[in-house]
A and B are shown apart, each in its own frame.
Chain A
């Protein structure tokens, strides 16, 4: 875990009888995107709030560039966050005013806050709305502004709780592109989302939290390779006669529309033998996606 920008060790948080977060340890290194996944109520937002020092853990510690943000708030200079279910910005101010305000509140001086605000608005295509009060902006624009608000002081660590929620396709893609660019520029990003395809597209590493416990943290590529294993997908031109189907089942073939076979390449030949001479449409090695991984992990945890 050398030179991690954000580190958390053994976080515990209990709300009354509910243990919302149990023994969570995470680290974010420069240049990486960590997808933080979990079902509703799994403890993602709670963890994000602890990491951003808005919620005090019962146990455990957070280090932001080596400093404890609970004791030394100046460490927050290096953190930006989009918080879930919040407006994150002032409705009665314009995007430009919001960014200047938050820029200064995060430690920039007025002149550089303004300069950076204009540059960001330009970059994210919000310049023409720079002078319109936020309450008159569309939801997607507000969400985009929430992201800019987290970026205004150019922090090293970004915690994004559902940043693509409610964005249209184009804007979501823009945000994804920007997230990649930020990671390339050496920022460390944590991203929670229920859109697993977004996570799959962006993540370098994946962490899955289930009932307050991190049940998996792994490099994304390795994770997908591990879960792909020896699975094959078979599709036929028409449904097989019952006798063939019975033989397939005996060989352990699952599924209906596309059939799924778990086994190695040799065993696959037995399946193909059983299917002969029915016309095949497709035989392919199954690729795992994050959705499948996710369902398996939280299903078995």
Chain B
């Protein structure tokens, strides 16, 4: 498994080195979106408007969103591409089994996605003048959010495996993610995927709230639950794809 992780990690680095424009393109687009929203908001608020701590909170929310976005859709995009180009069947011939392999792939992708989000953060801090000071403990609720993100990613991956062209659906549902990440922390909302971890992280970063053990536990439980659900659905989809012969493209 460690070897598998290393080789997946290496494959990520290779494509980063060989196709750096894809990473840069991502940084530019995602930075630009936020910057334009920022300019628009400042224009509406009038000259001299002060965002105070709000800007930082919104920026953190945005970065969290981009990070979750990758966790959410990279598996599906990978599956769609590989079934089209015809490497998916070879990937399914792994003795590790497809699910462990895709889990390891996700894990190995974290690093490159981290670089991307880090670059976006740098660009946006320079452009907007926001100052982010990361409390290291924020990483924990962040992780809980990511777990849930991967869970949703596996659920979408199940659809991608069965129906192939789900690009549109992925695009639209990104905004649903935004809603989940901005949902308040209280009871009914904490059942939604991603919401409790995101609320906790937001509180810590924007209001300097302390890390509450109970809230963190809840966030992790939520993340694990949705991960388990996603894996379950994906497993079903793999079985169905193998029954119907859907692993190859066209």
The interface of chain A, by Cβ under 8 A from chain B, is: 15, 46, 49, 52-56, 73-77, 79, 81, 83, 85-93, 97, 100-102, 104-110, 113, 133, 149
Contacts and interface: CB of A to CB of B under 8 A. Distances in A.
B247 interface: yes
Contacts of B11: 93, 97, 101
B214 interface: no
Contacts of B94: 73, 76, 105-107
B19 A105 contact: no
Contact of B86 (A56, A73, A88): A88
What 6 A-B pairs are tightest by C-beta distance, nearest first?
A86-B86, A104-B7, A77-B95, A73-B97, A87-B86, A76-B95
A81 B91 CA distance: 11
Contacts of A133: 18
Interface in B80-121: 85-87, 89-97, 101
Given A87-B85, A100-B7, A105-B94, A92 B245 contact: no
B18 A92 contact: yes
A88 B87 contact: yes
Nearest to B6: A110
Contacts of B247: 54-55
A253 B101 CA distance: 65
A101 B7 contact: yes
Contacts of B50: none
Interface of B is mostly: helix
Given A88-B86, A88-B87, A55 B7 contact: no
Interface residues of B, number: 29
Nearest to B84: A87
Contacts of B89: 49, 54, 83, 86
Interface of B: 3-4, 6-7, 11, 14-15, 18-19, 85-87, 89-97, 101, 239, 242-245, 247-248
19 contacts: A15-B245, A54-B93, A56-B239, A75-B95, A76-B94, A81-B93, A83-B86, A86-B86, A88-B86, A89-B87, A89-B90, A90-B87, A92-B15, A92-B18, A101-B7, A104-B4, A105-B4, A105-B94, A106-B93
Given A55-B243, A73-B95, 6 more contacts: A56-B243, A86-B87, A86-B248, A104-B6, A107-B95, A110-B7
Contacts of A91: 85
Contacts of A55: 242-243, 245, 247
A69 B63 CA distance: 43
Nearest to A88: B90
B85 A52 contact: no
Nearest to B11: A101
Contacts of A102: 90
Contacts of B243: 55-56
